[in-house]
Amino acid sequence: MRKFSLLDHQLIPKHEIMSEEELKSVLKQYAIDKEQLPKIKVVDPVIQEIGAQVGEVVRISRNSQTAGEAFYYRLVIA
């Protein structure tokens, strides 16, 4: 029996843990600190599935009819 993956569902956008270099670039681009990013809890089912830890930042890629692909960033919190 195969375990169902949330990431395989069409309504769940792509989530990926950002590297430190990618994060530095995004923070510089927006002139903000990591703590100013919107938050997502470590107990979120998708966060648990990708294995993100508290303090890491996740990039969420969503398809937008007007912008094409749009990126959202979330800081993982306890």
Q: What is the pTM of this model?
A: 0.88
Please give the pLDDT value at position 1.
Answer: 57
Please give the pLDDT value at position 7.
Answer: 83
Superfamily of structural domain 11-77: RPB5-like RNA polymerase subunit (3.90.940.20)
Distance between CA atoms of residues 2 and 71, nearest Å:
30
Element spanning 68, H or E: strand 68-77
Please give the pLDDT value at position 45.
Answer: 93
**Would you list the domain boundaries of the chain?**
11-77
Distance between CA atoms of residues 55 and 35, nearest Å:
9
Tens-place pLDDT, residues 16-57: 999 999 999 999 999 999 999 999 999 999 999 999 999 999
